[in-house]
Structure 1
Amino acid sequence: MTGFTLTLKSAPALRLDVRGVTPNAFASLSAAEVERLPLAHGNAFVPLAEFFTVAPRRDDTLLLQGDLSRCDFVGWQMNGGTLIAEGSVGDYAGGAMSAGTLTVKGHAADLAACEMAGGTLDIAGHVGDFAAGTLPGSMDGMRGGSLLVRGNAGARFGDRMRRGTALIFGDAGEFLASRMVAGTIAIAGRAGAHVGYGMRRGSVVFAGPAPGLAPTFVPAGAGAPVFWQLLARDLARHGGAFGSLAARGFERHLGDVAAAGKGELIVVR
């Protein structure tokens, strides 16, 4: 397997759909074949070489260079390998990916990790709205894997999330974990209003400031020390504000009882 470095020549005039630009898809292709791959640009399909220069690499990594903020679907349905985007990316980054590692060294726009099922998506900057959420019209959000957001997150983070682990090292917008079904979200910064709206199950850990809790979340009647130690140690490997969780106390609140939910908001002291 041979990797490639794709360098953006200039910002595309319209949104550029880069679905299909993944390590496994390129594994058996030559540089000339990669250059001929069609990318959707507006309502037309244009060869990849119109936008990127293509250079083979000595390793298996697929490296995207340049400001990719007008490039959508980076890492879409990625099923293995290593993909690195050295600039900011557009919408749907890591959407529906099932394996591999996608690293974004800038920001990601809306719907990052939507319906993600496996692998790791590591974003150095901020993400927009509906990260780890659902595709429009779908019922299930993130379904597995790990999402790391080193900056802040927009609104509706983890909407309808069903499985997996998502960490926010900064702040989050309103409706964090709305309609969450299962999985784990941890946040080091502040959360906006309406945390856990319609939450059914799952866990949200607040390692930083305590959030404003809705009256539809009630204090848990019993502790869960064994569960907490297991969860805290799993989150601690990511460092930052999560590194010391196992040594800290916590309070559990259950809900959203207005939706007959059994989720938990864990406020770390």
Structure 2
Amino acid sequence: MTTWVLSLKHAAALRVDLRGIVPAALAELSLDQIERLPVFHGNDTLPLAELCHVESVDGNGATLVLQGDFSRFDRIGWQLTGGRIEVRGNAGDYVGAGMTAGEIRVSGHAGVLAACEMQGGLLDVAGNVGDFAAAALPGSMDGMRGGTLIVQGSAADRFGDRMRRGTALVFGDAGDFLGSRMVAGSIAVGGRIGAHCAWGMRRGSIVCAGAAPSIAPTFVPTGHDISVFWQLLARDLARFGGPFAGLASKRIERIAGDLAVGGKGELLLPL
């Protein structure tokens, strides 16, 4: 199998759309054809080779490596169906959006709408993510629908907005409106959580492994014994390490809500 390495030649003057530059598409092309692939640079198109130096090396599996600061390059791994993408630097907006399988690892930060409408696979961001990660695309009703999102840094506002399925973890802090309008799925946060946590939440679980957030009056303690369920969930989260490693040894308080929209969601507060 081949590994394709795109090394950034210079910072892009405008936003660049990298949709379609994925391992499965590159596998059918020669190096010369890859260099001529058109990418949107603002409202115009440029051949990929004008922005990146392209090379291929032998590797284990179909892999695309992006070397440099790709923070102006959007839609990396857009609707990815397999293979592996490594971003050795920062990534732009919409990284991993709509992906159904495969793996994306970002060694830096990611922009807004990371993993939006993700359906499967793994997105691991070593740094921070912007607003609306694991959320819905503008105008859409469903956010993240499957797969695993790991944010080893912090998340900005509206993380998991309209989330419907899957697992999303934030090792650091999370901004305002975490899990807002959440329909299902699991979110775990290791640090502090901003205002209006789980606003409009219908179903799903939010594990507050760090400091307990400010809880709205439309959430109420249940008093139920959920120790068996908690052990299963805590042990599953423990494999990710960090602030989630010792959760299985803690007791848990369950807060149900949002009662304003049905009240079938839950905030899990380790004690």
**Structure 2 Cα separation of the partners of residues 131 and 223 of structure 1:** 32
- Corresponding position: 1:229 with 2:231: yes
Q: Does 213-222 or 112-121 show the bigger shift?
A: 213-222
Two-structure CA RMSD over aligned residues (Å): 0.7
Identity level (%): 61
Query: Any unmatched runs of 5+ in structure 1?
Result: none
Q: What is the CA distance between 1:54 and its match in structure 2?
A: 0.5
TM superposition shift of 1:3: 1.8
1:42 aligns with 2:42: yes
4+ residue runs over 3 A deviation: none
- List aligned pairs for 1:16-95, cutoff 5 A: 16-59=16-59, 60-95=62-97
8 Å contact from structure 1 (residues 3, 27) kept in 2: no
User: 1:90 & 1:201 partners in 2: Cα distance?
Assistant: 30
Residue 261 of structure 1, CA deviation: 2.7
What code does the residue aligned with 1:92 have?
Y
1:81-139 deviations in whole A, cap 9, x for unaligned? 11000011111010000101100000001000000000000000000000000000000
CA distance in 2, matches of 1:223, 1:195: 23
CA distance in 1, matches of 2:263, 2:13: 46
Q: How does 1:210-229 map to 2 (within 5 A)?
A: 210-229=212-231
Post-superposition Cα deviations, 1:123-170, rounded to whole Å, max 9, x if no partner, equal: 000000000000000000000000000000000000000000000000
Residue among 97, 100, 105 paired with 2:99: 97
Paired with 1:138 and 1:261, the residues of 2 have a C-alpha distance of: 23
Query: How do 1:1-269 and structure 2 match up within 5 A?
Result: 1-59=1-59, 60-269=62-271
Q: Aligned-pair distance for 1:246?
A: 0.8
Hey, what's the Cα distance between the residues in 2 that align with 1:70 and 1:201?
A: 35
TM-score (norm 2): 0.98
State TM-score, norm by structure 1.
Answer: 0.99
Deviations for 1:197-234, whole angstroms, at most 9, x for unmatched residues?
A: 00000000011111111010000131211111111111
Residue-pair matches, total: 269
Say if 1:3 and 1:26, in contact at 8 Å, map to a contact too. no
Q: Give the whole-Å Cα distance in 1 for the aligned partners of 2:143 and 2:236.
A: 22
- Bigger mean CA deviation after superposition, 150-159 or 60-69: 60-69
